[in-house]
Structure 1
């Protein structure tokens, strides 16, 4: 995903890690009563770092938007504290003998935040809205497992042929092209969340402001001051509201690492992530410090349609010319590990971890990199390399990494590159329009399987911003999705990854690890390996 798909996913980011003071939004009337009674006010203030581009299940592709969506919506499946998929808005599911038809029965007490019933028609409407070509959902391809979904989304089929059907108010039927062992995990992605048909059709901008927002999760949106903060509050219409302890969550949108770090230190924030690199060594001894694996890859995309990255050897030369060990030990400092492939550690297979089995897909060799650069320039007839600008989304930590990469490429290849940055929302649009040569991106897997990482570079994936298309890669990925023998499926995915890294439309930099500072008064915050912290069960204790 982005950290962008994705993520899935800080994307999903990463996408993801992208001023002001605490906005103090929301209703404060309860604070006096709680202080007078001596009770601890069940509120938390966290930093989401950047304005979420789209808090809409059909349109979100980044981990910032996804973080909020995961708290205010719930799909047919949700996740327990361990991250396992469990039934959510559905109370029962029956799977046909051939594994291709799922029949869900919705909970009678599944309600929208306005008190109305969540129906099977809401799910059918939401999913078909994702697939509707006019919606322009970049994550529609996650539904291609469904019968007729790909044809409809690509304008080659009819919506009537899509295997999504509300049988009645509480019965929802889904037909797949073939059995899919991870369908339950897939359905925890926000793309599969329901939306209220009435709210969406009444206002096409329903998700842009808090006062028109309707959702069905443990929290509901109560305030959104753009570029400043988002406030969500406990949803009393949620069927499992008794497990929700927090009355209010405020997502501050402070992008400057030194600023949000100081805000944590002064008590204005209860949770921050992506610490300034120069404080990590000191904070590791702090009981408030937390370091968590994160199933994603930090990388620089190459635009294969813009010189000089039209040449494969030039792309490889750049990828081989940086020292990832030095970057992770001396620059990022957050426990990240050097990346020499696309799929991060954490995806288990019948033969062990996918990354461990696959090994590195290339080596850092300065002399070989120089030689490849020279060969690529000779092939193109270039006496000097076309000027290169490396783009990143505005963030102090991204800047430090980019500056280090800039220095390494200068030292090891003799090439001077320029740096440029943009605010996250603008940056996503710029890269979507392929208006870059080399650009930072992060991709987080929506669940722990290599397919979600490799899908990023499918030729027809709207998340693939490189312009790279490889028919052999696409063919192998397609075959892997219908292969029922798991060992063969993973073999196919290893083969696909080798093709990807041989053509090198991107350069992997490191595999993520998230670092946090968290107020120790808070308990039961859940740290999934592929999402930002989940606050559904969190509570605040007395000091």
Structure 2
């Protein structure tokens, strides 16, 4: 049969399939509340995610020791009904509520949090936010693996196979001993090795039950006949400041007083995971809707890739009587324009981010819309530079790119009320005045580029700006491309990737320059600054500066607020001078929320817990919590 004959038949089949899909979609029972969650979530594993779309779902499916107030993001009781702080501010004793339950009916205990924190810190988990736990005694060394060990340390040796009779994806057999020697592969003597390479080029001598044994980690070059194989060797977790006193009492011991520790304990990567679920199904299968076990206000009923995640109110949640929405749909809509059209046609109750250009037009409407909510947000939009690639290892090149940015043009063209940024830390945090990078200066940018060996852009390699798929990111990337080409005479192209691929590319440093953003995890400048330390999980630039690391470390140990902010300001000055990142603008939140939605408050982190939201269908006026928010 010829293609001409087949073609009409194929078209009919495609149309029938599309019609069938539409019918199936129409038959889906409606949710009580529907919102656009922007992009497809990367994962529902709290330990490995880092984006706002993931956070909205994870905060609903899991509950941390603390919750965060919908009004001001302060710490409120979660699984921990109360907590005590020692006089020196270093020890927190968490009292867990006895009626907290997993969705499978099992009680949530202090052992679940200890297990989850250990998993979070395990180097093999590769948690991007692991550094947030480094405030805990011994947590940094545990997270850094074998490279952080010293002779005399108590260690744990994880063997490749799980214990006999254990669940199929359980951790391997764990041996405990004392490190008595570190032996290096002679071929690599005198060479500087990364943390990852350390385990591959060293053997470890460990005394276990009075006898010395030699171990090599998986992938090691050490001779097989002389060393036993193990998965990894870590600092003994008993040396980490996480202690279970009983089923409902957990203790965390910190290196230094950390006043925002309760807020951090309400951050979604700190959520507990169910050990039985994780070890029965393994990663990532344990996160699938048919397997996942949570302890939050909602359960995942189903997930349709590139469509929606449906959440249903949990019958086992301790505070279920206060949860007023039965079914919630979180839609995956990459295009902000499409999402806005869905909102305008009544398909969404909440749009998390109105498109900038459309927002401008909405602000001109008379009378003013009562569903448009613009508010200051603790966030910065910026570009990261990959310092591991030439010519970006030259600070003059990076500073030239920084000086050639016309931020005012960007915000006037692609934004809606946002302010140009010249620091990574947004203004507005009481007591902290962030140091700024230099203003737009094309002549100085050209001079620096010439000094670096590229006069007029001659000889400069073609570079690429990476961004995740979204109209506003594309608009900004095109503006920056034209600015750099015009001002510096260099060739620039752009590349977009869907969210999951983009996250992998940035994590693996597979880019020249990439679009990034950071929303503060807590109300302190440290949340914007400690991520740039050497080897930080969210650094993703290759930037490393010993003085910067020292200042961040000292700030973490300083109890005087004024001195502490001074140390952080010194660190930010280095960051702006060295230019591994290029601040572009400070965020405003741009929510569109139906007037009948209740429990929605403006806050600096633009975080809106779904369990606090409810619907008042009889309401005629604007949401009382949103009045006066349009600026």
TM-score, normalising length: structure 1: 0.89
Quote the offset at 1:382 in angstroms. 8.2
Counterpart among 239, 244, 269 of residue 191 in structure 1: 269
Q: Is the 8 A contact 2:93 2:249 kept in 1?
A: yes
Q: Which secondary structure state, in structure 2, belongs to the residue aligned with residue 134 of structure 1? A: helix
Deviations 1:238-289 (A, max 9, x none): 2222221111111100111221111111111121133233311222232221
Counterpart among 361, 383, 389 of residue 464 in structure 2: 389
Q: Which secondary structure state, in structure 2, belongs to the residue aligned with residue 108 of structure 1? A: coil
Quote the offset at 1:149 in angstroms. 0.7
Matching residue of 2:241: 163
| Pair 1:338 & 2:420 matched | yes
| Pair 1:63 & 2:141 matched | no
After superposing the two structures, state which structure 1 stretch, 335-344 or 233-242, moved more: 233-242
Deviations 1:285-337 (A, max 9, x none): 3222111222111111111121221211111111111211121122212x211
Q: Is the 8 A contact 2:458 2:489 kept in 1?
A: no
Classify 1:25/1:122 alpha carbon distance in 2 versus 1 (closer, same or farther; 3 Å). farther
Quote the offset at 1:484 in angstroms. 0.6
Provide the rounded CA distance (Å) in 2 between the counterparts of 1:292 and 1:219.
Answer: 28
Quote the offset at 1:444 in angstroms. 1.3
Matching residue of 2:140: 150
Quote the offset at 1:374 in angstroms. 1.1
1:470-509 paired onto structure 2 within 5 Å: 470-509=545-584
Counterpart among 372, 376, 394 of residue 289 in structure 1: 372
Provide the rounded CA distance (Å) in 1 between the counterparts of 2:22 and 2:604.
Answer: 30
Matching residue of 1:264: 343
Counterpart among 118, 124, 129 of residue 139 in structure 1: 129
Higher RCO (C-alpha under 8 Å, 6+ residues apart): 1
Matching residue of 2:105: 115
Quote the offset at 1:62 in angstroms. 1.4
After superposing the two structures, state which structure 1 stretch, 165-174 or 274-283, moved more: 274-283
Matching residue of 1:216: 295
Q: Is the 8 A contact 1:199 1:206 kept in 2?
A: no
Structure ID, larger Rg: 2
Counterpart among 368, 384, 402 of residue 319 in structure 1: 402
Matching residue of 2:181: none
Q: Is the 8 A contact 2:356 2:472 kept in 1?
A: yes
| Pair 1:97 & 2:87 matched | yes
Counterpart among 439, 448, 451 of residue 372 in structure 1: 448
Deviations 1:75-108 (A, max 9, x none): 1111223221112111222222222221111101
| Pair 1:237 & 2:312 matched | no
RMSD after superposition: 2.1
| Pair 1:300 & 2:300 matched | no
Q: Which secondary structure state, in structure 1, belongs to the residue aligned with residue 548 of structure 2? A: helix
Matching residue of 1:8: none
Provide the rounded CA distance (Å) in 2 between the counterparts of 1:123 and 1:408.
Answer: 49
Provide the rounded CA distance (Å) in 1 between the counterparts of 2:429 and 2:27.
Answer: 40
Deviations 1:92-141 (A, max 9, x none): 22222222221111101111122221001000000000011111111111
Deviations 1:199-248 (A, max 9, x none): 11111135431111111112221111122211111122222222211111
Quote the offset at 1:492 in angstroms. 0.1
Provide the rounded CA distance (Å) in 2 between the counterparts of 1:46 and 1:24.
Answer: 17
Quote the offset at 1:187 in angstroms. 0.9
Provide the rounded CA distance (Å) in 2 between the counterparts of 1:25 and 1:114.
Answer: 31
Provide the rounded CA distance (Å) in 1 between the counterparts of 2:402 and 2:390.
Answer: 16
Counterpart among 350, 354, 363 of residue 439 in structure 2: 363
Matching residue of 1:410: 485
Provide the rounded CA distance (Å) in 1 between the counterparts of 2:612 and 2:23.
Answer: 23
Q: Is the 8 A contact 2:450 2:457 kept in 1?
A: no
Q: Is the 8 A contact 1:274 1:514 kept in 2?
A: yes
Deviations 1:14-37 (A, max 9, x none): xxxxxx999969983xx7xxxxxx
Q: Is the 8 A contact 2:384 2:582 kept in 1?
A: yes
Q: How many residues align?
A: 504
Counterpart among 314, 322, 328 of residue 411 in structure 2: 328
Matching residue of 1:528: 603
Provide the rounded CA distance (Å) in 1 between the counterparts of 2:86 and 2:545.
Answer: 35
Q: Is the 8 A contact 2:425 2:434 kept in 1?
A: no
TM-score, normalising length: structure 2: 0.77
Q: Is the 8 A contact 1:347 1:448 kept in 2?
A: yes
Q: Which secondary structure state, in structure 1, belongs to the residue aligned with residue 453 of structure 2? A: helix
